[in-house]
Chains A and B, each alone.
Chain A
Amino acid sequence: MSDPPPTPLLTLRGIGKSFLGVRVLDDVDLDVAPGEVHAVVGENGAGKSTLMKIVSGGYAPDGGTVEFAGATRTFRGPRDAQRAGIGIIHQEFNLLPERTVAENVYLGHEPVRRGLVDRRGMVERTTRLLASIGETTLPADARVGQLGVAQQQVVEIAKALALDARLLIMDEPTAALADHEVELLYGLVRRLQERGIGLLYVSHRLAEVFDLSSRITVLKDGRRVTTVDTESTTADELVRHMVGRELSSYYPDRAAPEDRGPVRLNLRDAGNRKLRDVNLQLRAGEVLGIGGLQGSGRSALARAIFGVSPFTTGDVTLDDRPVRLRSPRTAMRAGIAYVTEDRKGEGIVPRQSVLDNALLASRAVFAARSGRPARTARVRELLAAVEIRGAGDDQEIRFLSGGNQQKVVLARWLALNPRILLFDEPTRGIDVGAKSAIHDLVRRLARDGAAVLMISSDLPELLGMSDRIVVMRDGHVAGELPAGATEEEVVALAVGTALETTA
C-alpha cells in the first residue's frame, strides 16, 4: 500500500441546512481521510442524519461546500453521489428479499454482454467482491430473504463497493446485529480501511465508536461541538459533550426490597416450539431483566407470554389464577402489555397520527361505550406525561424520531393500565436523551406496582436497570443473577461454559 495522500477524501466546510425556517445544521466542518474511520455521534435531532444525507446526495446544503476527492461537488441526488463514489448503508437495508445476492448487488448497473444481462458474470463478480471483503461462505445466488441480518449487511456493503465507493457512510450499522455479529462487522470495517476506503460511522453505541474510529465528531443541536482524537478522550467526556450529563447518572435507582410485591406471573415448565421448561416468577414492583444472545429465546419468551406464539406446554398463573394466554387480545385483557423489539414493523402504524397510534390498543380492546372523549383525553394526558418533543398529537408518527415513537408506543400501553409490562429492547436505536427518559419511565412504572420484564442486548442497560437478571440460552433459563452482577457473569451464562473456549 502506498502512503495515504495528504489530502482528505472528503472535506465539509461550513455546511448549513434549514427546513421550513428551522436551522437543523449550522456551520459544520468535517473531514475524512482515506482509510480513516471517522465517527459521528450526537443525540437524535442533533443533525447527524441530515449531515449524512447531505454527504450522500439526499439533500442539498443551504450553505457551505462539499469537497470530495479533491473537487468541490454538488450532488443532484443519491445516484449522483453514488456515481462519484459515496455509498451509504442505511439502518434499514435497501435490499430486495426476493432476489439473489448478485441481483441485489448489481441492481441498477447489471453487467451486460451483447445487450443482455450476463448472469453468470454477475454471480462471478459478486463472489469475487464478497471474497475481497473476506466473505467466502455467502453464495452469490442465495436469495437475500433467507440470509441473516449480518449477512444482509455484508450484501449492502458489497452493493456499495460494486459502485466503487471510496467513502462509505454507515448509519447505526450494529443496531440490528447480535453481539457475535458485531465482531464480524468490526473485521469488515478493518478490511475496508485497508483498502483505503474512508468511513463515516454514525452510532449510538459508544463502545463501538471507541473500538473502531480514529476521530470522533460530536454534534449537538445542529452544530459541531468538537472533533477529537479517539485515543485522547473518554466515554464520559463524549457523553458530556453530547448531552451535558455524566454517564453514571444514566440509570434510576433500583427497587428497595420492601417495594417488591407478590408474584404476578408464574411460569412452570412452560414451553413451545422455541422454549422449553421455562420456570420464571415475575413480581409486582420489580424490573426483571432478561439477558441472552439473539435467538436464545428472549423474545420468544415475551411473545409467548403476550400470546403471539403461545405456550403449548406447562402452566401459567397470573395472580395465582391459572390462565391461558392464547392471543395478544387475551393477554391485553389480562393486563399484559408488550413493547416489541421491531418498532417500525410491529410497534407503530407509520402513516397514522401520534394520537391514533397511542389509542390503538384501547380502541381495539375496549368497547366504544366506555367513553370515547374521556379515553382520548386520558391518552393525550399520557402523551404529555411521556414528554414527546417537537411533535403535535396529530402529526403522522413516521416523522418522529425513534425515541419519540417509542414514547408513543409506551403511552399506548399505559392507557390500558397494564399490571405486567414486557419490554423487548426498549431503547434500541434511540438517542441518549430519550433513552434515559424511557429508563425513568420503566422504573416509575415498577415503583407504581407494575411487574416489568425487560429484554436487552445492551449489557450496561440490562445491569443498570434490572433488580434481577434471568439469562436465557437455547430456549431455556440458563441461570439467574442478582442486581449488581457483572457483564462477565451474564455473558458466561449466555454462551454457556461448554462454549467458552470458542468465544
Chain B
Amino acid sequence: MSALSLLPARRSVPGVFVALTLTLTIGWLVVLLDGGQLFNQSTTVSLLHVAAGLGLVAVGQTLVILGGSLDLSVAYVISLSTLVAAETMNGSDGAVLPAIGLVLVVSAGVGLLNGLLVTRFRVNAFIATLGVGLLLKGYLDNGYDGPAGTTAPSLVQALGYQRIGPVPVSFLLLIAVTAAAWFALSRTRFGHHLVAVGGDPEVARLSGVRNDRVLVTAHVLCSMCAGLAGIYLASRLGSGAPRVGTEGLYDLESIAAVVIGGTALAGGRGGVIGTVGGVLLLASIDAIFNQLEVDAFFKQVIRGVIIIAAVAVYARRAMRKAA
C-alpha cells in the first residue's frame, strides 16, 4: 500500500556541504568586490590550518556525541597536551616519539576518567567532563604562567609548517583521523554499538551491547583526538601553551562543528564527514572575515547566528520527517 515508505535509506550528502559551498561562493564574491582574493595561497593555507586544529578535536567530539555523551574537557586536554609534548621534547628531535606517546597516554587517561565518571558513576556527561576540565585547569593555572618547554624543531617543521601544495600536513592528518573514525563507525562493531547506545541505550543494552564499555572507549578516543590537536598546536607554536585550548574555544567550537555537521546532540544520528564540513564552514567564515577585516566581536555574532540557524534547519527537517 505505502510503497513510498519502502525506499531504501539513502545516506544523503549532509546539508552542511551545501552551506559550505554557498559560503565560499558568496565569500569569494564579497572579498573580490572588496578588492581581495579569498583563494590565494596564504589564506587557503591558514584556513586549512585552522580547520586541522579544530577538526581533530571535533572528530573526537563527534564520537562521544554520537554515543549520547559530551566532552567539555577537551580544551584543557589540548592545553595540557601542548605542555606535555613541548616539555618532554625540550627541543630535542630524538624525543619526538616518546613525547607523542606520552601525550596519547595522558589524554587517554583523562578520557578514561571521563568515561568512567559518565558510565560507572552515572554522572551527567556535562557535569562530569566540566568537572574534569576544571581539575585540569587548576593544575595548569597553578603550574604555569606562560609558555613552557620547546617543541622539537623537526616536529615544528613536519607537522607545523610542512605542506604539499597548499595543503598542510596537519590537514592530511585530519583527513587520516577522519577516515579512521568514519571507518570505525561504519565498519566495526564498536561503531555500530556506539550509534546504538546514543540512539537508545535501553535498546542497545537489551540487544547485548555492553553500553559502558562502548561509551568509555568513545571517551578515550575523543580525549586522544584532543591530545593529537595538542601535539599539532605545540608544533605550530613551538612550545607548550597552558591556555591555548580555552582561548581557542575548542570545547564549544568543536561541539558547534559537530552540530552544524548534522549530528544530533542527543546522539544516535550523524557522522564525522558532516563534522569536517562543519569545521570547514567555521574556518571559512573565519578566513572570509579576516580578509574583509571585520571586527572580531561582530565575527562572533555572525558565528552565533550561523550555529543557531544550522540547528534550526535540522530541527525543521526532523519535524518534516516526523510529519
Q: In the bound complex, what is the Cα–Cα distance between A107 and B190 (angstroms)?
A: 11
Among B2, B186, B199, B203, contact of A119 (Cβ-Cβ < 8 Å): B186
Contact of B6 with A110 in the complex, beta carbons under 8 Å: no
Known: A96-B196, A96-B268, A117-B192. A108 touches B209 (CB 8 A): yes
Shortest C-beta distance, A499 to chain B (Å), equals 12
Contacts of A115 in B (CB 8 A): 188
Contact of A82 with B268 in the complex, beta carbons under 8 Å: no
A71 interfacial contact with B, CB 8 Å: no
Shortest C-beta distance, A188 to chain B (Å), equals 17
In chain A between 32 and 82, which residues have their CB closer than 8 angstroms to a CB of chain B? 78-79, 82
A233 interfacial contact with B, CB 8 Å: no
B317 interfacial contact with A, CB 8 Å: no
Shortest C-beta distance, A376 to chain B (Å), equals 31
Taking residues whose C-beta sits less than 8 angstroms from the other chain, chain B's interface range is: 20 to 34
Among A79, A119, A142, A148, contact of B187 (Cβ-Cβ < 8 Å): A119
Interchain Cβ contacts within 8 Å, total number: 76
Contact of A141 with B204 in the complex, beta carbons under 8 Å: no
Contacts of B8 in A (CB 8 A): 139, 141-142
Closest to B267 in A: A98
In chain A between 99 and 147, which residues have their CB closer than 8 angstroms to a CB of chain B? 99-100, 103, 107-110, 112, 115-117, 119, 137-139, 141-143, 145-147
B236 interfacial contact with A, CB 8 Å: no
Contact of B196 with A99 in the complex, beta carbons under 8 Å: yes
A94 interfacial contact with B, CB 8 Å: yes
Secondary structure class of chain A's binding surface, majority of residues: loop
Contact of A103 with B192 in the complex, beta carbons under 8 Å: yes
B299 interfacial contact with A, CB 8 Å: no
Known: A108-B209, A117-B189. A146 touches B5 (CB 8 A): yes
B33 interfacial contact with A, CB 8 Å: no
Contacts of A108 in B (CB 8 A): 193, 196, 204, 207-209
Among A82, A107, A116, A147, contact of B196 (Cβ-Cβ < 8 Å): A107
Q: In the bound complex, what is the Cα–Cα distance between A199 and B208 (angstroms)?
A: 22
Number of interface residues of A (CB under 8 A): 31
Shortest C-beta distance, A297 to chain B (Å), equals 15
Contact of A147 with B5 in the complex, beta carbons under 8 Å: yes
Q: In the bound complex, what is the Cα–Cα distance between A159 and B203 (angstroms)?
A: 12
B296 interfacial contact with A, CB 8 Å: no
Closest to B199 in A: A96
Among B188, B204, B321, contact of A107 (Cβ-Cβ < 8 Å): B204
Contact of B192 with A110 in the complex, beta carbons under 8 Å: yes
Known: A94-B206, A108-B204. A141 touches B192 (CB 8 A): no
Known: A107-B204, A107-B207, A108-B209. A116 touches B188 (CB 8 A): yes
Contacts of A82 in B (CB 8 A): 208
Shortest C-beta distance, B270 to chain A (Å), equals 9
Contact of A79 with B208 in the complex, beta carbons under 8 Å: yes
Q: In the bound complex, what is the Cα–Cα distance between A139 and B268 (angstroms)?
A: 21
Known: A107-B204, A107-B207, A108-B207. A98 touches B187 (CB 8 A): no
B93 interfacial contact with A, CB 8 Å: no
Shortest C-beta distance, A353 to chain B (Å), equals 22
> Most chain-A CB neighbours within 10 Å: which of B2, B188, B189?
B189
Among A94, A112, A137, contact of B189 (Cβ-Cβ < 8 Å): A112
A95 interfacial contact with B, CB 8 Å: yes
Contact of B199 with A94 in the complex, beta carbons under 8 Å: no
Binding site for A on B (CB under 8 A): 2, 5-9, 186-189, 191-193, 195-196, 199-200, 202-204, 206-209, 268-269, 321
A to B CB contacts below 8 Å, 6 in the list:
A79-B206, A82-B208, A94-B207, A108-B204, A108-B209, A116-B188
